[in-house]
């Protein structure tokens, strides 16, 4: 009896400790994910070390995703089924689509560009379609490096009553599990745009960031990493600075901080360490966390 009581007390303490952690969500593509290196070297893990045990920093970067897809994972853009989806009786998993059309579209008719990571630390599964819960999976995933083109077959698995025939109508609302994290966050960090999705219009990129920020409200803590890659125009950078003011964190891109030590959108370990320090320092300035 005493052992049982002690176990209950310890379990309750562990639960309270986990609940007390402040959640920091880092949204982005391969730069956030940490290309060609262990995830504990990417900036979210480096920021976790700086913040300590009172915080839980989650890496929401998926390499290859464009801004629209990142928004969809975060919940800033609404999704729906493009066409009716039919499960024959006794069939649990069906092929949903491909890289050409994966079966989902946004409210303005745009397709999303999911990758095989499917959210990693912030999984998209389970996926809600209408009133039902489902899961996504990939087969034949390929990434054509020279063209930066992703190819795959996407599958949908149902979790309830596989013995019955089921038809999901076109236009049914779709939401990813990852979006449920947002209301619980104490701070969000955004870095996106390297894979397109904003059609080269910086005002669109600003609007996309604002849509993500507005999920918790403009006064909620957030940081925006200023795009630094070659080709992102100086006037674009100024537009981002004006739009988000002190929330903008600028990274001093240099060869020695980038992947393979030449100017690149991807960073090396030294670059990630510096980026984490810059984010931490700005968070201190804004009162998001202590020193």
Please give the pLDDT value at position 283: 98
Query: What is the model's pTM?
Result: 0.91
Residue 163 tokens read as 């013995």
Q: Is the dihedral of CA 213, 218, 220, 225 positive or negative?
A: positive
101 Cβ contact list (under 8 Å, min separation 6): 82, 111
Taking CA 278 as the corner, what is the angle to CA 276 and CA 284, rounded to the nearest 5 degrees?
Answer: 100
Please give the pLDDT value at position 206: 98
Residue from 46, 76, 13 nearest 271 by CA: 46
Exposed/middle/buried for 126, CB within 10 Å: 0-12, 13-18, 19+?
Answer: middle
Q: How many helices (H) and strands (E) does the chain have?
A: 7, 14
Q: How far apart are CA 193 and CA 170, in angstroms?
A: 29
Q: How far apart are CA 169 and CA 34, in angstroms?
A: 38
Placement of tokens 């928004």 in the chain: 71
Please give the pLDDT value at position 9: 41
Taking CA 25 as the corner, what is the angle to CA 177 and CA 75, rounded to the nearest 5 degrees?
Answer: 40
Please give the pLDDT value at position 252: 96
User: Are residues 251 and 225 in contact, defined by beta-carbon separation less than 8 angstroms?
Assistant: yes
The tens place of each residue's pLDDT in the chain, 291 residues long, gives: 444 444 444 444 444 444 589 999 999 999 999 987 788 899 999 999 999 999 999 999 999 899 999 999 999 999 999 999 999 999 999 999 998 899 999 999 999 989 888 998 999 999 999 999 999 999 999 877 777 678 899 999 998 888 999 999 999 999 999 999 999 999 999 999 999 999 999 999 999 999 999 999 989 999 999 999 989 999 999 999 999 999 999 999 999 999 999 998 999 999 999 999 999 999 999 999 998
């Amino acid at each position: 009896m005493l052992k049982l009581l002690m176990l209950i007390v310890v379990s309750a303490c562990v639960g309270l400790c986990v609940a007390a952690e402040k959640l920091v969500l880092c949204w982005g593509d391969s730069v956030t994910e940490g290309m060609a290196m262990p995830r504990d070297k990417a900036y979210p893990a480096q920021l976790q070390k700086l913040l300590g045990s009172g915080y839980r920093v989650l890496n929401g970067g998926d390499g290859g995703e464009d801004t629209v897809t990142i928004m969809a994972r975060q919940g800033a853009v609404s999704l729906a089924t493009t066409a009716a989806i039919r499960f024959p009786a006794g069939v649990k998993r069906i092929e949903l689509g491909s890289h050409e059309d994966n079966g989902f579209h946004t409210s303005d008719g745009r397709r999303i560009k999911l990758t095989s990571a499917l959210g990693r630390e912030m999984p998209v599964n389970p996926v809600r379609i209408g009133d039902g819960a489902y899961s996504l999976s990939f087969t034949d995933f390929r990434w054509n490096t020279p063209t930066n083109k992703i190819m795959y077959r996407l599958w949908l698995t149902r979790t309830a009553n596989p013995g019955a025939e089921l038809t999901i109508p076109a236009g049914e609302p779709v939401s990813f599990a990852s979006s449920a994290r947002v209301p619980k966050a104490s701070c969000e960090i955004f870095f996106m745009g390297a894979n397109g999705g904003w059609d080269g219009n910086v005002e669109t990129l600003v609007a996309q960031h604002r849509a993500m920020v507005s999920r918790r409200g403009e006064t909620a803590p957030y940081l925006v990493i200023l795009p630094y890659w070659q080709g992102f125009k100086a006037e674009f950078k100024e537009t981002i600075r004006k739009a988000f003011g002190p929330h903008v964190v600028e990274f001093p891109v240099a060869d020695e901080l980038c992947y393979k030590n030449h100017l690149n959108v991807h960073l090396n370990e030294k670059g990630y360490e510096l980026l984490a320090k810059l984010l931490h320092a700005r968070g201190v300035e804004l009162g998001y966390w202590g020193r």
